[in-house]
Structure 1
Amino acid sequence: MKTHFDTIVIGGGPGGLAAAYRLAEQQSVLVVENDLWGGTCPNRGCDPKKMLYSAVEAIDHQHTLQSSGLVGTSYINWPQLMAFKRQYTTQIPDGTLNGLQSAGIRTVTGTAHFIADHHLRVGETDYTADHFIIATGQTPTLPAIEGRDLLQTSNQFLDLDHLPAKIAFIGAGYIAIELANIAATAGAEVHIIQHNKRILRDFPEAMTTELITSLQNKGVQFHFETTVTKVYETTKGLVLNNAGGFTLTVDAAFAALGRHANIDELNLPAADIATGHHGIQVDEHLVSSNPRVYAIGDVVDRPQPKLTPVAGFEGRYVANQLLQTNSDPIAYPLIPHTVYASPQISQAGVSVQTAQENPDQYRLNQQTTTNWYTFNRIKEPNAIVTTIFDRQTNQLVGAAAYTTIAEELINYLTPLIKNHTTAAELTDTIYNYPSPASDLKYYY
């Protein structure tokens, strides 16, 4: 059995797969995965989450049109919605594995750990390679409190057979907000417990404040400046409390405090691989402190958003480094990102906060677009779009949107930022009318 490879990829998710397929065109490649082939995103992350969100979008749209000609509303049948999700996710692991094997890529299922700088052990078998790519992603973080083992995570929420009647989420980031919105729309009583007064700290505060109100109108209850220090079980359910007098009894509680690098079992010290607070430390070529070892995706300690397309971008970049078709330091493109709530919040480029902190450099154009035709047609209750311009060049450099079509808008605005598109060029471009794209010139 072959045990030496040109490159061994640890992690069979989007980043590792992108690297493996590119490398396999010219190298011998082994991919090691100890959980679900395909990684977090398609199995228990962004893909299944958005499938559940599809029902939320439909119901939200129905509610907004109730006084505008649409009569009657639907409701979410949770078991049927979960069956819809599972018909997709159950195909992912085998489909991923079959795809790799069909491409001539060797695969091993098991937990990998280093025993030397070029030496990896999986189960009872030792493997060596000229280079390694660590793409093990992240895993949910549980708080260090009494009763933490009673808490569930997004992994369990996205595969619930039945939706609990009363739910709490500890945390107010992406995961908490998106899953709380799904649960509330599906009929659960939902509580969000946050240690301070902010949600989604990376997004414009004016928009996140509006989102809090929108979620409250759905029945979501926020408990700000509250820290849970103990969880215990009673005959009435799970009790969450603290020494300050906070007590909440729920049917299920989910930790949504972010995720941390999935590196605990890799034995990185044996390979002289340095780590930071947020994962593996790398240089501008994504090389770790061990020159044989690269790291990509969510396992990397870097400022870029932890998103699936970013992992894939890094996987392709490292593959090209190893194949010597690119020797330049990594240069990230614009990275749009969206919170899939009701409504959505999206942003790309220079952030609103950065622009506000540097008024001599940037000009903000914030518009309430609720009454524009595009938004009035879908009875958008409150739409806000902010565009950011460089004062010296007058070029569009950033954008943020708070609307049910924010994802679509930011995908239109991102290439305008990237390509330095001017207002005159937009005026001379014909889009389908009327559509969100035909409005683009009005954001300048």
Structure 2
Amino acid sequence: MSNKFDLVVIGGGSGGLATARRAAGVYGARAAIVECGPIGGTCVNVGCVPKKVMWSAAAMAESIKQAPGYGFDVTSKPFNWPEFVAKRTAYIHRLNGIYFKNLENDKVTYFHGKGYVRKEDDLFLVDVRQEDGSVSTIKADRVVIATGSYPILPKTPGAELGITSNGFFELTEQPKTVLVVGAGYIGVELSGMLHALGSETHLMIRGDTVLRSFDEMIQTTITETYEKEGIKIHTEVTKPIALSQLDSGKTLASYVDKDGKASTLEVDKVIWAIGRAPHTRSIGLEEIGVKMDETGYIEVDKYQNTSVPNLYALGDVVKLVHLTPVAIAAGRRLVDRVFGGVKDRHLDYDNIPSAIFSHPEAGSVGLSEKAAIEKFGKDQVKVYKTKFNGMYYAVLEEKIPTAYKMVCVGPEEKVVGLHLVGDASAELIQGFGVAVKMGATKEDFDNTVAVHPTSAEEVVTLK
């Protein structure tokens, strides 16, 4: 078999797989995937998929807790973490098998190893390096870099005593006490799940609220709800957090609290959720002249072109929107243009819906209120919002809030942002995201008859 391909994708995550499969399966290109880790990448193995499975377990725990309010006399044993993790792992392994089968069906050649790219005249050479040191080389007319990202550790004493989100999915026992560090969606999701499943959960953040890249309504609603539900949020922790191992086996976190007082916290586990970095170093990109910023993100234009002709990049290695469906969509559009002849085909990165699997869920599409004011001016922005308790909580003593905000611009009140907090918000934002993407106005929402009784009807009856 020839080792020459029309396209070689380095990275077997969701974006890379979608790119190679579309090239081979739809357009008949000779395509190959190079991957050194589990097939499916972060999302399938240590990201979105196992996270959503864990979130579902946490949601089940909340439903059991709420069942007496609906007249059910429920008794349950404590959550069986090892048994559940075994089921979750088996599910992921089934998905890995399905991914391999899909590659086979679409006639994509798979190479296991770390890809290192070189140039030879008009061709790319991709060295596939095995753990034992052996190297095989394949040739390609075009290369896509889709190597994803990895969770980072802080440069503080004892940081290695903590784990990252990757380590979270390796836990075989549930920690009784846990400290999560980070205000982003990963920290918020992990802390919410652990709390719902019964761990005493601490969350340390640098500001006053979580999810600071989202609209203020989402920030404040989730922060206040987490505190009310019993998650211990330590705010304004701006100095480095040092870790040390205790004789008991527990971890001691030393930090400076918001009042400037030196404090300590003793927990079973510390989870760092302070950000991710692109997998772009030591794979040959610098040597062939690929432009990257100081943090390693590859510079691309709207067509995913890098500074090197016929070398493309997508997903978490570019400094755009880091979501699995975004990488998939970018890869498919790239292939449509390069192999399908669809001129000007590229991904529009505006108005991409996203969800946070917190407790309660949140969904967002478009601009926050603050971003809209910065872009259009305060006098051009009008905001509609509501906050209420969904009917599910009518007979429950515990009330989890629902809050919606619509951000409109101009005399026609075009909807440029929609932000939801509450049960099923992740599902709701998908449908409403279509409307925002199509340029719907407030009047379009008003003209849509409400479905009653639902929480979502409030979106089309905002006053």
TM-based fold match above 0.5: yes
CA contact (8 A) 2:225 2:400 kept: no
Secondary structure of the equivalent of 2:34? Answer: strand
State the alpha-carbon separation in 2 of the partners of residues 380 and 313 from structure 1: 38
Q: Which runs of 5+ in 1 are unaligned?
A: none
Return the letter of the residue paired with 1:7: L
The alpha-carbon distance between structure 1 residues 155 and 212, as it changes in their structure 2 partners (threshold 3 A), is: same
What do you get for the CA RMSD once the two structures are aligned? Answer: 2.4
What is the deviation of 1:249?
Answer: 1.9
Return the letter of the residue paired with 2:44: P
State the alpha-carbon separation in 2 of the partners of residues 169 and 182 from structure 1: 11
CA contact (8 A) 1:380 1:404 kept: no
State the alpha-carbon separation in 2 of the partners of residues 91 and 352 from structure 1: 42
* Residue pairs, 1:70-219, within 5 angstroms: 70-72=72-74, 74=76, 75-116=78-119, 118-123=124-129, 124-219=135-230
Secondary structure of the equivalent of 2:312? Answer: strand
State the alpha-carbon separation in 2 of the partners of residues 73 and 388 from structure 1: 45
Which residue of structure 1 aligns with residue 132 of structure 2? Answer: none
Which is further off, 269-278 or 342-351?
Answer: 269-278
Secondary structure of the equivalent of 1:360? Answer: helix
Query: Which of 36, 40, 43 does residue 42 from structure 2 map onto?
Result: 40
What is the deviation of 1:2?
Answer: 2.2
Which residue of structure 1 aligns with residue 310 of structure 2? Answer: 292
Q: Which runs of 5+ in 2 are unaligned?
A: 130-134
State the alpha-carbon separation in 1 of the partners of residues 69 and 165 from structure 2: 35
Which residue of structure 2 aligns with residue 327 of structure 1? Answer: 343
Secondary structure of the equivalent of 1:260? Answer: strand
TM-score by length of 2: 0.88
The alpha-carbon distance between structure 1 residues 377 and 17, as it changes in their structure 2 partners (threshold 3 A), is: farther
State the alpha-carbon separation in 2 of the partners of residues 233 and 321 from structure 1: 54
Q: Percent identity?
A: 28
Secondary structure of the equivalent of 2:329? Answer: helix
What is the deviation of 1:284?
Answer: 1.7
CA contact (8 A) 2:5 2:31 kept: yes
State the alpha-carbon separation in 1 of the partners of residues 9 and 102 from structure 2: 15
The alpha-carbon distance between structure 1 residues 374 and 221, as it changes in their structure 2 partners (threshold 3 A), is: closer
Query: Which of 419, 422, 441 does residue 403 from structure 1 map onto?
Result: 422
Residue by residue over 1:129-155, the C-alpha shift from the partner in whole angstroms, topping out at 9 and shown as x without a partner, is 111001111101111122222221111
Return the letter of the residue paired with 1:235: D
2:18 paired with 1:6: no
Return the letter of the residue paired with 1:78: W
Which residue of structure 2 aligns with residue 232 of structure 1? Answer: 244
TM-score by length of 1: 0.92
The alpha-carbon distance between structure 1 residues 102 and 254, as it changes in their structure 2 partners (threshold 3 A), is: same
CA contact (8 A) 2:450 2:457 kept: yes
Which is further off, 87-96 or 130-139?
Answer: 87-96
Residue by residue over 1:303-348, the C-alpha shift from the partner in whole angstroms, topping out at 9 and shown as x without a partner, is x3x1111010111011112115223254235311111111112110
State the alpha-carbon separation in 2 of the partners of residues 420 and 70 from structure 1: 46
Secondary structure of the equivalent of 1:107? Answer: strand
Which is further off, 286-295 or 426-435?
Answer: 426-435
Which residue of structure 1 aligns with residue 234 of structure 2? Answer: 223
Return the letter of the residue paired with 2:96: P
State the alpha-carbon separation in 1 of the partners of residues 347 and 434 from structure 2: 20
State the alpha-carbon separation in 2 of the partners of residues 394 and 364 from structure 1: 10
Q: After the TM superposition, which segments of 4 or more aligned residues of structure 1 sit over 6 Å from their partners? A: none
Secondary structure of the equivalent of 2:286? Answer: helix
Secondary structure of the equivalent of 1:275? Answer: coil
Residue by residue over 1:343-376, the C-alpha shift from the partner in whole angstroms, topping out at 9 and shown as x without a partner, is 1121101222223543222210011132x65774
The alpha-carbon distance between structure 1 residues 422 and 115, as it changes in their structure 2 partners (threshold 3 A), is: closer
State the alpha-carbon separation in 2 of the partners of residues 423 and 279 from structure 1: 38
Return the letter of the residue paired with 2:185: Y
Return the letter of the residue paired with 1:316: R
Residue by residue over 1:372-398, the C-alpha shift from the partner in whole angstroms, topping out at 9 and shown as x without a partner, is 657748885321110111222223221
State the alpha-carbon separation in 2 of the partners of residues 94 and 426 from structure 1: 43
